[in-house]
A = this chain, B = another copy of it.
Amino acid sequence: MSEKGISKAVIKRLPRYYRYLGELLEAGVERISSGELSERMKVTASQIRQDLNNFGGFGQQGYGYNVRYLHDEIGKILGLNRIHNMVIIGAGNLGQALANYASFERSGFRTVGLFDVNPVLQGVTVRGIPIRMVDELPEFIKENKVEIATLTLPKSRAKEMAQLLVEYGIRAIWNFAHTDLNLVLPRDVIVENVHLSESLMRLSYNLTSYEEKHKTNK
């Protein structure tokens, strides 16, 4: 498979293809043309053909795409065909919410541990997972072959924790703290940031600029 030089934009779109194809599968659709997929996804058909060609192109002229095949192949490209063990550091509301997302498990992301510094939380279980104290992390990560750590900690504690996690052998960090960790971590550690307040600000920008336009046009 020639995956070299695939643009970030294409990679960003792959999970969306995966989701749409999953919905088609659920609906019992076996094959789809790029035209139909284009209509559903509101992406041009040529964009779809171009994107999927990056991975060898699974379509056939006059037949379209085999939904299950394409879904599974994209799943493999995304690394969803194997189990990733994950811990969540920070067992507040957000950490507990994420631990409760059973759908992550179905995509291969298995939450094996939930950690906090607050002794009051020790032993509380979320979806059967007991909350442990962070001093148990080094051993836990090794014993459970944990690859991914989800950080749902306050900004003030996130950087230090991220550095420790890397020492303990964590390979990827899913970061919900309101700060960029990339700057304090080795380059080969994968960081995926979810900056919720930035998303809310984009919403606010769009709302504000729509209102401005509307005002001017009156």
CA distance A183 to B43 in the complex (A): 12
Interface set, chain A 179-204, CB cutoff 8 A to B = 182-183, 188, 190, 192, 194-204
A152 to chain B, nearest CB (A): 8
A206-B93 in contact given A15-B198, A198-B19 (Cβ < 8 Å):
no
Q: In the complex, what's the smallest C-beta–C-beta distance from A58 to chain B, in angstroms?
A: 17
A91 vs B205: C-alpha distance in the bound complex, in angstroms? 26
In the complex, whether A161 has a CB less than 8 A from a CB of chain B is no
How many copies the complex holds: the figure is 2
Residues of A within 8 A of B (CB): 3, 11-12, 14-16, 18-19, 40, 42, 77-80, 84, 92-94, 96-98, 100-101, 103-104, 107-109, 147-148, 171-172, 174, 178, 182-183, 188, 190, 192, 194-210, 212
Some 11 contacts from A to B, beta carbons below 8 A apart, are A3-B212, A11-B202, A77-B208, A78-B205, A79-B208, A92-B97, A96-B97, A107-B200, A171-B207, A172-B203, A172-B206
- Whether A78 and B196, one on each chain, are in contact in the complex, defined by CB atoms closer than 8 angstroms, is no
Residues of B within 8 A of A206 (CB): 172, 190, 192
Residues of B close to A42: CB separation below 8 A: 182-183
A172 near B207 (CB under 8 angstroms)? yes
